[in-house]
Amino acid sequence: MRALSLLECFGPGRSRLSLSQLARSSALPLSTAHRLVQDLAAWGALERDEDGRYRIGARLRQVASMADHDVPLSRHALPLMSDLAQRTGHTVLLAVLQGTGIVFLEHVIGSKAPFRPRPEPHLILTTAAGLLLSAHADAATLGRILEEHLPPAAPPGTSLPDAAALGRELARIRRDGHSSTSRSTHPYYTAVAAPIRTAPGAPVIAALSEVGVAAHADPRGRDAPMSPAACLAAAAGITAALSGS
């Protein structure tokens, strides 16, 4: 509870506070405030700026954003996800960032690609949805994602890219407006992902991902080549629904 009293110190006109200001405002001893601030900063609830003052951290803002948007997000997304899965036969996923990992809020299983997402947040850099969310994360969050999930040199034969290749891929995703990958956690599948926002031009809050059978796993060509067009259209529809809600 004492840590929460530190967070309550922030408000309009009080977005950046020094350690001494936090201690005074929370009526905590300076040593106690210092220890709690360090714990909050380590988790990502607070960030220290170049002047040594503290502000609300990216991870806490992200958690608050998820709490605000998860219910209407799922409500507006599921009808369009179901339609996309029915038309394409692909599995459709709805994903958000949680800390430095990825969480799948909803999924609709397709008839041609019965992929089921694995509840493993650390797979963020090996999925189309995770790459898209990483590409649109704020600088602090992206830095923590890379620090926690990208080794200095990816071992040979793994699905992780090196830092330079990943940087180019994230830049391409921001430029093209979607992600795609055959470097999934299952070699049988390939995927594309498109951004979902609360309104056109607003920050990305979620990723819509379409998962199909990889070409090498479908020698008879029964499945159409994966294209981002349908996924982008569905994601735009969800954004429009959110902006009008």
Q: Between 161 and 20, where is the model more confident?
A: 20
Among 171, 177, 124, 120, CA closest to 146 = 124
Residue 163 confidence (pLDDT): 78
Of the chain, the percentage scoring pLDDT greater than 90 comes to: 35
| pTM tops 0.85, yes or no | no
Q: Is the pLDDT of residue 197 over 70?
A: yes
CB 245 within 8 A of CB 233: no
Higher pLDDT, 202 or 14: 202
pLDDT band (50, 70, 90) for residue 82: very high
For the stretch 170-177, contacts whose Cβ atoms lie closer than 8 Å and that sit 24 or more positions apart, written own/partner, are 170/131, 170/134, 170/135, 170/142, 171/135, 173/131, 173/132, 173/135, 174/135, 174/136, 177/232
Question: Rounded to an integer, what distance in angstroms lies between the CA atom of residue 36 and that of residue 162?
Answer: 36
- Residue written as tokens 């200001």? 21
Q: For 21-41, what is the mean pLDDT?
A: 90
Quick one: pLDDT at residue 91? 92
With cut-offs at 50, 70 and 90, classify the pLDDT of residue 221. very low
pLDDT, average across residues 25-31: 89
Instruction: Compute the mean pLDDT over every residue in the chain, rounded to the nearest whole number.
Output: 82
Which pLDDT does position 222 carry in this prediction? Answer: 47
Residue 130 pLDDT grade (very low, low, confident, very high; cuts 50, 70, 90): very high
- CA dist 20 and 126 (Å) reads 43
